[in-house]
Amino acid sequence: MPATGCQCALTEFNTSAIIATLGAFRCSCGSSSLAGCFFQYVPTSRNDMIEELRIGLVGCGNMGGALVAGILDRGNARPSQFTVVDVREAALDPLARLGVRTSQETRDAVADQDIVILGVKPQSAPEVLALVGRLLQPSQVLVSIMAGVSTARIEKEMGSPVPVVRVMPQILARLGAAASAVCLGRHADADQARMVCDLFDQVGTTVLVEEAQMDAVTGLSGSGPAYVYTIIEALSDGGVRVGLPRDVALKLAAQTVMGAARMVLESDQHPVVLRDQVTSPGGTTIAGLHALEAKGLRDALISAVQAATERSVELGDD
């Protein structure tokens, strides 16, 4: 597929230059041209680098805890590489049991770390950024997973030119199945981008985007798990409607969604091609697809992504 047909995701900002220097990035359409293409981060084997990182986490709630536990599950990092801080001792317990160093002092997650991840809620950003800003050195990389908090805002709070990388991960990191989008602040370079992408690759798939696209990412993959849970629930209701026991229907629905998603990712084929392969003339599937068209499933999902993206813009900090 030629590069000219791509949606341009990287027209300005330093992201294009960074990607141009990284052999590990390629266009999702397969082109080697940089112009006008969407570039996807393609993981290479950099587990040796992961083994050496010292990683601090401030805010070990649902997302931060899932991220660290998911990285440890992958087996390329040791608990001793992490220092995790939370104001709530109970939030630290699960990781402490895995052998991770835990603390209630923010400075412990900053001092001597290569990467400091901010896993607090956006409401806690002013307090935490002020504190971390006083402690962080320009040689350290600050990674924010806070939804809706821009790199510009973080950089402003830092007071010095600190490399900032913003990531929108998913709670699916706990299963090693997250889709994470990464964008870079003004002072982050190619090596730091790659280091952060490598780290989040430990818990799934990573894409590098421009920051302006983070609201769209929120509308698609940020809110996406909830859409898919709804689809699975509705499919299982359909199974019950035609006589299957609830547990059987739910298992069949969830496994079908997982298998179809894996097929899209692993076959490198467009979903339309895959759909045609399972749609016989005059058969059952085309009858079902016709009903989906009549009820507007595709329109509903497109509208969902659009509405969530617009809401993300409304909630943004600048």
- Which residue lies nearer to ligand NAP by CB, 217 or 249? 217
Confirm if 168 and 119 have CB atoms less than 8 A apart.
no
Q: How many other CB atoms sit within 10 Å of the CB of residue 23?
A: 8
User: Which span sits near ligand NAP by CB under 6 A: 25-33, 74-82, 133-141, 168-176?
Assistant: 168-176
User: 116 has which bridge partners?
Assistant: 56, 142
Q: What does 83-109 look like in DSSP terms, one character per residue?
A: EEE-S-HHHHHHHHHTT-EEES-HHHH
Position 79, amino acid: P
145 binds ligand NAP per the rule CB under 6 A? yes
Q: Is 133 in the site for ligand NAP (CB under 6 A)?
A: no
- Tell me if 85 contacts ligand NAP by CB under 6 A: yes
Which of 19, 29, 68, 91 lies at the binding interface for ligand NAP (CB under 6 A)?
91
The smaller minimum CB distance to ligand NAP, of residues 27 and 136, is found at 136
Least distance in Å: CB of 115 to ligand NAP?
16
* Site for ligand NAP contains 269 (CB under 6 A): no
Strands annotated E in 120-269:
141-144, 164-168, 178-184, 204-208
Judged by CB under 6 A, the number of residues near ligand NAP is: 26
Report the half-sphere exposure of 300 (CA within 13 A, side-chain side). Answer: 10
Q: Which is nearer to ligand NAP, 31 or 206 (CB)?
A: 206
Q: How far is the CB of 142 from ligand NAP (least distance, A)?
A: 14
- Tell me whether residue 141 is exposed, middle or buried, using C-beta atoms within 10 angstroms of its C-beta: 0 to 12, 13 to 18, 19 or more: buried
Contacts with 26 (C-beta within 8 Å, 6 or more apart), sequence order: 32, 39, 40, 42
Span interacting with ligand NAP, options 58-66, 185-193, 282-290, 304-312, rule CB under 6 A: 58-66
Under the binding rule (CB under 6 A), the answer on residue 315 touching ligand NAP is no
Q: How far is the CB of 288 from ligand NAP (least distance, A)?
A: 32
Tokens 């399972």 locate to: 278
Residues 6+ apart with CB under 8 A from 113: 54, 55, 56, 83, 140
Does residue number 84 form part of the binding site for ligand NAP (CB under 6 A)? no
Which residue of the chain is nearest ligand NAP when measured via CB?
A: 61
One-letter amino acid of 152: A
Q: Rank residues 229 and 246 by Cβ distance to ligand NAP and give the closer one.
A: 229
Determine, following the binding rule CB under 6 A, whether residue 86 of this chain makes contact with ligand NAP.
yes
For binding to ligand NAP (CB under 6 A), which residues are involved?
58-59, 61-64, 85-88, 91, 106, 119-122, 124, 127-128, 145-147, 168-171
